[in-house]
């Protein structure tokens, strides 16, 4: 499980404030399909909200711990029926190293005026 400092956690909570939940955990609980969907969302967004339908606070805490331990993520916040989870995107050094900068376009020649003054 990834550990965050209190400053990092505070900044992530602020970033997550405007987010909508992208995954829901319903009556079937935390299944393999739900874990896979959470993994996909973490790869795409790094910071996600998860809505848990159910009244058991103990189940929500267990879900948060299981998600974070199995997906190497960090718990950011558990408030009500919402879980906020963070996992930094993996840095792909091979793609960054092989990526060449786009060629620069040469400066265009000065425009000639379409109007000609005949005097």
| 112 occurs within a structural domain | no
Question: For the segment 78-111, what is each residue's pLDDT rounded down to a tens digit?
Answer: 999 999 999 998 876 665 556 666 666 666 656 6
State the total domains in the chain.
Answer: 1
| 19 occurs within a structural domain | yes
| 51 occurs within a structural domain | yes
Residue-number span of the structural domain to which 44 is assigned: 6-88
What is the Cα–Cα distance from 26 to 59, expressed in whole angstroms? 11
| 67 occurs within a structural domain | yes
What is the Cα–Cα distance from 72 to 3, expressed in whole angstroms? 10
| 72 occurs within a structural domain | yes
Question: For the segment 5-29, what is each residue's pLDDT rounded down to a tens digit?
Answer: 999 999 999 999 999 999 999 999 9
What is the Cα–Cα distance from 111 to 109, expressed in whole angstroms? 6
Which of 101, 56, 103, 100 minimizes the C-alpha distance to 80? 56
User: What is the structure's pLDDT at 90?
Assistant: 80
* CATH number, position 54: 3.30.110.60
Q: Indicate if the pLDDT at residue 70 is higher than 90.
A: yes
What is the Cα–Cα distance from 50 to 73, expressed in whole angstroms? 13
Q: Indicate if the pLDDT at residue 4 is higher than 60.
A: yes
């Amino acid at each position: 499980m990834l550990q965050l400092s209190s400053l990092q956690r505070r900044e992530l909570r602020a970033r997550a404030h405007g987010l909508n939940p992208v995954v829901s955990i319903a009556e079937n609980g935390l299944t393999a399909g739900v874990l896979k969907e959470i993994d996909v969302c973490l790869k795409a967004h790094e910071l996600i909200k998860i809505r848990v339908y159910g009244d058991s606070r103990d189940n929500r805490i267990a879900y948060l711990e299981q998600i974070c331990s199995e997906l190497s993520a960090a718990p950011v916040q558990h408030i009500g029926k919402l879980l906020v989870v963070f996992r930094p995107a993996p840095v792909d050094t091979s793609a960054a190293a092989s990526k060449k900068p786009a060629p620069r376009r040469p400066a265009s020649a000065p425009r000639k005026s379409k109007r000609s003054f005949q005097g």
